[in-house]
Structure 1
Amino acid sequence: MSDNTLVVLGLGSRSTAFYLQALNKEYNAKFGGYSTCPLVLYNVNFHAINTLLPKPSKALKDVLQPSFSAIQSFQASHVLIPNITLHETVDEMLIPQQIIHPIHLTINAIKAKQIKKVVVFGSIYTMSSNYIKDALNAHNIDVLVPNASEMKLIDTVRQAIYNHTETDDLMDSYFNLCNTYALKHTIVLACTELSIIKPKNDAILDMAQLQIESAIKAINK
């Protein structure tokens, strides 16, 4: 393996496929020809993980630990996790590899744009918990959350995308909500499923895209 080896932890099938496709697209755009992103995919049974999400727990850490131990054999310099929520648990574990962390990347991107206030779109847990909010507040970034009915819509969209059951009407309602918030605020997408199908809008900051861009830079230093 090279000194800069990227390992992608394979989780949900649609989100993992999205990351792999996006990594290849970003890599090809940079290097041209028939270039594809050099990486190692370590696929796990997502059912065992997903049934223990979203909150950190000893049980969830115990399920994850063998995967991260196995990843060491690939001499990985960086690990990309295609699940935003899972990072809250990983933060509490002793992982020797450098995690391409969506929260840290988001903070840097917000500060670079000199933005003082954002609204977070994610799962109901993500929007209701303090994990992202506290991390951003620590850097003097105010965090807004949608109201209860809007959260329900966003979470319904998230679940539909995961299950491949999204409809045009549902997505139209979601895109309208995105566009309404984007008129006044920067939206932070903090859910991989929402990254898969997103409106094109300069006011949207996508955590997954930040991870992907960082991964390409990391393995080509």
Structure 2
Amino acid sequence: MRTIGMLGGMSWESSAEYYRLLNEESRARLGGYNTVPSVLYSVDFAAIVAMQEAGDWAAAGRHLADAARQVRRAGADLVLLCTNTMHQVAEEIEAAIDVPFVHIVDATGARIAAAGLTRVGLLGTRYTMELDFYRARMRDRHGIDVIVPEEPDRTLVHDVIYRELTRNRVEDGSREQYVRIVRGLAERGAEAVILGCTEITLLLGPGDSPLPLFDSTRLHVAHALDIALAQ
């Protein structure tokens, strides 16, 4: 199996989920004691948040490109960025390494398209919902129309991620609000919803949602393992 490099720390809760899922999926596929050869580089999330809030995506791109080089030097044969939001700088990361960069939108979009769906809702950070990097790639490469909540619900979704989930707080009241927002997306024609922030899986599961959920984290992991196991 190829060695999977994980570029994480955004947040560490998200990275821990990636590590758990990679090894659970590896054991499910291969059996026995099989786990994933992996390398994890965890950045300081506080520095990333400061760049996000300042809108300094160029600095964030340089920072994560340098981290990706370190992951590669540590032996990674492919690289995962363990966050949806920072795929805003995916091009800079991809240009910095000479091994495959597994893009989370492509992993998610392929599964949605295979399900025959063409219009889906998206929950994530404000940056993921409002910047064009996610929706444009989903539309242009996979033919999928992505809709996001109206305000003030986008703010609510964002604040729950940063004030609760990235601090390992899971609140029942926030889950109820997310379910309400999913119902609103359904009323606007969404056939399913993308959990477009890795931490949202801590809050919302299939049993909670009135629409099918596409967990971008789990789909990203599965796609990476497909590549890692390919002969």
TM-score scaled by length of structure 2: 0.84
1:140 aligns with 2:139: no
Equivalents in 1 of 2:35, 2:204: separation in Å? 24
Shift of 1:179: 5.2
- Tell me which residue corresponds to 2:166: 162
1:98-153 CA deviation, whole Å, 9 max, x = no partner? 11111112221222122111111111222122222212222432221111122122
Deviations along 1:6-58, one digit per CA (max 9) or x if unpaired, are: 11123121111111111111112112233322212223323222321275633
CA contact (8 A) 2:39 2:71 kept: no
Partners of 2:143 and 2:36 lie apart in 1 by 36
SS at match of 2:205: coil
**Per the alignment, in what secondary structure is the counterpart of residue 7 of structure 1?**
strand
Aligned to 2:205: 199
2:92 paired with 1:92: yes
Aligned alpha-carbon RMSD (Å): 2.2
- 1: distance between equivalents of 2:169 and 2:219? 26
Q: Percent identity?
A: 26
Contact 1:121 1:127 in 2 (8 A): yes
The match for 1:7 is 5
Instruction: Indicate the larger mover: 178-187 or 105-114.
Output: 178-187
- 1:215: how far off? 1.7
Q: Paired residue for 1:121?
A: 123
**Aligned residue number for residue 32 of structure 1:** 31
2:152 to 121, 141, 149: 149
Instruction: Report which of the two has the higher share of helix.
Output: 2
- The correspondence of residues 58-97 of structure 1 with structure 2, limited to 5 A, is 58-93=58-93, 94-95=95-96, 96-97=98-99
Task: Tell me the equivalent position of 1:43.
Answer: 42
Give 3-state SS (helix, strand or coil) of 2:37's partner. coil
TM-score of the two chains, using structure 1 as the length reference = 0.87
What SS is found at the alignment partner of 1:40?
Answer: strand
Instruction: Judge conservation of contact 1:157–1:171 (CA < 8 Å) in 2.
Output: no
SS at match of 2:116: coil
The alpha carbon displacement at 1:182 in A equals: 5.3
How far apart in 1 are the matches of 2:29 and 2:174?
35
